[in-house]
Amino acid sequence: MSHSTGSPNQRNYDVEAGSNRSGDDEESSNVFDITRTKHASVERLRRWRQAALVLNASRRFRYTLDLKKEEDRKQTLRKIRAHAQAIRAAFLFKESIQQENGIVPPKPSSAGEFRIGQEELASISRDHNFTTLQQYGGVKGLGELLKTSLEKGIPGSDDDLLKRKTAYGSNTYPRKKPRSFWRFLWEACQDLTLIILMVAAVASLALGIKTEGIKEGWYDGGSIAFAVLLVIVVTAISDYKQSLQFQNLNEEKRNIQIEVIRGGRRVEVSIYDLVVGDVIPLNIGDQVPADGVLITGHSLSIDESSMTGESKIVRKDSKEPFLMSGCKVADGNGIMLVTSVGINTEWGLLMASISEDTGEETPLQVRLNGVATFIGVVGLTVAFLVLCVLLVRYFTGHTTNADGTPQFVAGKTKFGKAIDGAIKIVTIAVTIVVVAVPEGLPLAVTLTLAYSMRKMMADKALVRRLSACETMGSATTICSDKTGTLTLNQMTVVESCACLKKVNNSDGKPDLSPKISSLIIEGIAQNTTGNVYVPETGGDVEVTGSPTEKAILQWALKLGMNFEATRSQSSILHVFPFNSEKKRGGVAVKLPNNEVHIHWKGAAEIILASCTRYIDDNDQVAAMDDDKLMFFRKSIEDMASGSLRCVAIAYLPYELENVPTGEQQLADWAMPADDLVLLAIVGIKDPCRPGVADAVRLCQKAGVKVRMVTGDNVQTAKAIALECGILRADSDLSELLIEGKDFRELSDRQREGVAEKISVMGRSSPNDKLLLVQALRRRGHVVAVTGDGTNDAPALHEADIGLAMGIQGTEVAKESSDIIILDDNFASVVKVVRWGRSVYANIQKFIQFQLTVNVAALVINVVAAISSGEVPLNAVQLLWVNLIMDTLGALALATEPPTNHLMDRPPVGRREPLITNIMWRNLLIQAIYQITVLLIFNFRGKSILNLEHDSTDHADKVKNTLIFNTFVLCQIFNEFNARKPDEFNIFKGITKNYLFMGIIAVTLVLQILIVEFLGKFTTTVRLNWKHWLISVVIAFISWPLAVVGKFIPVPETPFHRYFTRSPLFKFITRIFCRRRERTEVSQ
């Protein structure tokens, strides 16, 4: 049963406040309330940093966006771009002077076995020196100098690749060294409270040695110093391991796969393996992987904004053939020759000059900084109160020794001893701050994200933006492509229609006449971005290209196509690359007899609408009357209802004298696309992916509505949607199905109403997808969108989570996305949703665990301090508790793997409170239990444990050791409770989480060692088996107590709402807002 009914704004949980599209980005009275960091302003990011209570800024803000460094990076980019353009302008000026004076440029120097050196190559490409290129014989001459065949590429043998790398370098650039472990250690030392504790430890050490001698006097100060160092080292190790995970993920992001031509074959290689002389096909959406020159191109347009800083599309042709690394193909296609790689390219210089990774904060991270700040303020207040009470009690003589004598007597106590007593009190207060301020809370997000991102790689999802990981847990709708995502992307032509009849498409040759076969073969061979490679030594034919192109090429091979021979029989005059808006692509070719054929291929109904003629059984061109038109339309509908993708092939004979002759006129020529002759309609089968129906059902159960947005025929989309479970046969399909053109004609308000109901959009353009995303976001949805094409970039950018396809996706789509789905599989998208929810759930588990420790430790120490002037948990013990709570607790709870239980609930509202009512109930029950039991032991422990007959000093140490031991064991047992806040079986799946079990075991062993063997350092004594049994039993009771607590119902209205409605809260908020307004005005 689906939770997804209507808009999220109509549900009982708030996903996103406001109906305005940018509502999630609007100013909020809470500086920590940034629900979408994807497009947050620098000012908003700066404000939450200023408002956060931070003890160690270098550690807290390590993985957030470095605002200063980001500004420096942009400034550096501007300088380098200006520098490159100035050099280019100067070179052109110098070249023009040389031409006027008749100066001949020097001959090229050699590089190893190659007759041209790197300097000459770099000057050609970097300076866009067209004259020098011509003097080397143009692109053809350059290919000869580089021993490259412009048709077949380089040989590609290991020996050849090694020679090229030796002569011209590899396609890599020097990067800044990652932070060493010592840097992390240094940053961990910068925590303000730890610095104070170290100073206190040194002072205590000096005073202790002076008053008690070195043998006994070093324990107090030395134990605090050792505990602080232990916290620093463990923190640094944890942070360093996280950084290594992020480094590995960043390497994966940069490792782009590029198609190259080597030895006549098209093969995929890593961008790092490109060499000078490589021949690379470029298609719309590709990134230019190195500097080079254009061999041949058709309507090739390049977006050079990444290099020049200007959003200007530049047309490339034989007069302007220079291509720069890092730029994107905006339109058309072509083939390039690589002339420079790595640091010898402008892009390589640019990347080597700037720091790429400046960090990024996530909404959850910002909110947790807010929670940490609130808790920290409370903790500081409590610590200050304890400090004042203890100092007053000490200096007024109310703090006594074990024998009942006052520790301080005015005029009698030595100055050194008085200072030592005051230092111990300050140490306790500072240690309370260490425990109270949850410095590790925001960093737990980074920990769980680092863990999740590494595991998501195994689930075929590469995270490009950290925030997308957690936002995916809030997704209420997924707008998915059909081809390759819901289907296998393994296409074959299974039906075809030509000459007013259905063509037999068995494994044998399709039954078509020679004339129509030759026209179809000519159109398919020339009007394609694919390729057919026939090995010279024999073997299987290799067909490359997009899945649709491959299917049509394989069908043409059955017709008897010889790919290379057919392409050589005619020359291409002009190409209209396939366009997702127009849904068709065309080519004009000149035959040996000077005839011109214009071939078109594309969406069947769109091509058919442009056809006025067809070829009949007698190979004659016949007029397309209404009956013939209805026959072909019916054929398309029949194929589409059988879930086939329909593609039509048509052509137009054209007069050569009507074709423009000039290069520029030819480039701007709008090829005739009407009055076409229909050749054939083919039906391409692309089966549904196995398991996709289960994945869709899981989404619907989890309250996430799946919508199909495809460029295919509506009937094809409907058939696949029924097969996948997106549509049900008993549904009212009239409201759930829509064509892209119908949707875009609606007004904004109408689109919002219709968008809510849509399950399938057919014949959609990328702009229709963008309009749908905007309409859904205005309705309050958190939208995830899949996309693979260049034109999908705006929708991927606009969506809350953009998901690009790793196999079929273009580089432009990938760069606009937040997550790359490496196997193009919808089931992997669903796994991302589960991981997103897991991130949120793990953070909540850690918050519940940490707040329980915070509340219990604070209350116990405050009550004991105020009532007796002594605290049962001393500085070293509290530092150990802090280590369990912050670092070890985060490792244990923030790395819980996701479970199917997460998909049994609706999406997490992005403005829902982090601490839910269930969490409040759980933590208050545990905290109250621990406080009650341990305070009873604190005040009545001697009588309960039968210690009245022992010396006062020994009895106090046994009592305090028991309190400390019981408190730590309670936290260990409570970690199990925190694993499953809303489930009764807290041990479910525990055997699969080896890290959790390992941390519990290590914590337990260390606790035993501390109590039994390190008493001198921790001011504890050994406990007998009875005392250990008492500690374990008290801690064990927290398990049945948690089970009983889960029967207590909680109200649906979050607890914080009751608090925010109170007059006191409104008064404080009003004061805070006025103060902030005054600060902003003064700034």
Instruction: Give catalytic residue positions.
Output: 481
* Residues pairing with 682 in the sheet: 496, 647
910 touches 363 (CB < 8 A): yes
Find tokens 């909680």 and name the residue. 1050
Dihedral sign of CA atoms 41, 43, 46, 51 in order: negative
Burial class for 597, CB neighbours closer than 10 Å (0-12, 13-18, 19+): buried
- Residue 751: what residue type? R
C-alpha 1075/C-alpha 719 separation (Å) is 60
Q: Is 57 helix (H, G, I), strand (E, B) or coil?
A: helix
State both tokens at 359: 């960090």
- Residue 281: what residue type? P
C-alpha 700/C-alpha 694 separation (Å) is 10
596 touches 586 (CB < 8 A): no
C-alpha 230/C-alpha 1009 separation (Å) is 15
C-alpha 613/C-alpha 679 separation (Å) is 9
Find tokens 């959850």 and name the residue. 364
966 touches 933 (CB < 8 A): yes
CA distances 635 to 501, 615, 646, 647, 1046, Å, are: 9, 16, 10, 12, 62
Q: Which residues contact 963 (CB under 8 A, 6 or more apart)?
A: 860, 872, 873, 934, 937, 938, 941
Q: Report the run of H or E that residue 427 belongs to, with start and end.
A: helix 415-436
Running DSSP on this structure, what letter comes out for residue 990?
A: G
Find tokens 């408002």 and name the residue. 51
Q: Which residues contact 49 (CB under 8 A, 6 or more apart)?
A: 61, 64, 67
* Residues pairing with 154 in the sheet: 262
State both tokens at 485: 């995502």
State both tokens at 107: 């001959």
Which runs of consecutive H residues, i.e. helices, occur in 945-1014?
952-979, 994-1013
Give Cα 901 to chain centroid, integer Å: 24
Running DSSP on this structure, what letter comes out for residue 149?
A: B
Give Cα 876 to chain centroid, integer Å: 40
Torsion angle, alpha carbons of 814, 704, 764, 770, to 10:
-60
847 touches 914 (CB < 8 A): yes
Residue 1000 sits at the vertex; the CA angle it makes with 996 and 1002, to the nearest 5 degrees, is 115
787 touches 809 (CB < 8 A): yes
Residue in 326, 428, 357 with CA at minimum distance from that of residue 386: 428
Running DSSP on this structure, what letter comes out for residue 127?
A: T
Q: Which residues contact 780 (CB under 8 A, 6 or more apart)?
A: 7, 8, 9, 15, 16, 18, 19, 23
362 touches 423 (CB < 8 A): no
Query: Per residue, what are the HEC states of 780-805?
Result: CCCEEEEECCHHHHHHHHHCCEEEEE
CA distances 1023 to 939, 962, 963, Å, are: 19, 8, 11
Q: How many CB atoms lie within 10 A of CB 280?
A: 24
